[in-house]
């Protein structure tokens, strides 16, 4: 089992560019999540999904969109990147509302 994987591992964007972060899990989990982690702060939930075809807003959803077309994949999109979106992004998945399993993270720098 690979668990939760994320691509890419690192990316540099210019302000206004767009990109998509991919998260994949092979544990057949229903729930998937996208978080951002900034220095000195706890992880903050961006969006989450409780099943294929469903998405919901988290704590800090502005500037991000998500899609869950397949159960094993959860995509996070930035339509027009801003320097405030410089962060480390973590994807996680869980069986119901049990313990979440996290991916290795994507480090994003927006110039």
Partner 1 sequence: KNQVEQSPQSLIILEGKNCTLQCNYTVSPFSNLRWYKQDTGRGPVSLTIMTFSENTKSNGRYTATLDADTKQSSLHITASQLSDSASYICVVSARGGYNKLIFGAGTRLAVHP
Binding site for partner 1 (CB under 8 A): 4, 40-45, 48, 50, 56, 90, 92, 97, 99-105
Identity of the residue, 87 or 100, whose beta carbon is nearer to partner 1 in the bound complex: 100
Distance of closest approach, residue 22 Cβ to partner 1, in angstroms: 15
Identity of the residue, 42 or 62, whose beta carbon is nearer to partner 1 in the bound complex: 42
Distance of closest approach, residue 87 Cβ to partner 1, in angstroms: 14
Residue 24: Cβ within 10 Å count: 19
Please report, for residues 60, 73, 85, 93, 95, the alpha-carbon distance to residue 12 in angstroms, rounded to integers and kept in the order given.
21, 23, 11, 26, 33
Distance of closest approach, residue 74 Cβ to partner 1, in angstroms: 14
Distance of closest approach, residue 2 Cβ to partner 1, in angstroms: 13
CB-based contacts of 62: which residues, under 8 Å, 6+ apart? none
Identity of the residue, 27 or 56, whose beta carbon is nearer to partner 1 in the bound complex: 56
SS in 3 state form for 23-57?
EEECCCCCEEEEEEECCCCCCEEEEEECCCCCCEE
């Amino acid at each position: 089992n690979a668990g939760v994987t994320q691509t890419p591992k690192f990316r540099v964007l210019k302000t206004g560019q767009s990109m998509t972060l991919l998260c994949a899990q092979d544990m057949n989990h229903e729930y998937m999540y996208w978080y951002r982690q900034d220095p000195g702060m706890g992880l903050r939930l961006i969006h989450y999904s409780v099943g294929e075809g469903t998405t919901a807003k988290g704590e800090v959803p502005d500037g991000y969109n998500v899609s869950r077309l397949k159960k094993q994949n959860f995509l996070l999109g930035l339509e027009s990147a801003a320097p405030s979106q410089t962060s480390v992004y973590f994807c996680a998945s869980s069986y119901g509302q049990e313990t979440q399993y996290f991916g290795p993270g994507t480090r994003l720098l927006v110039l």
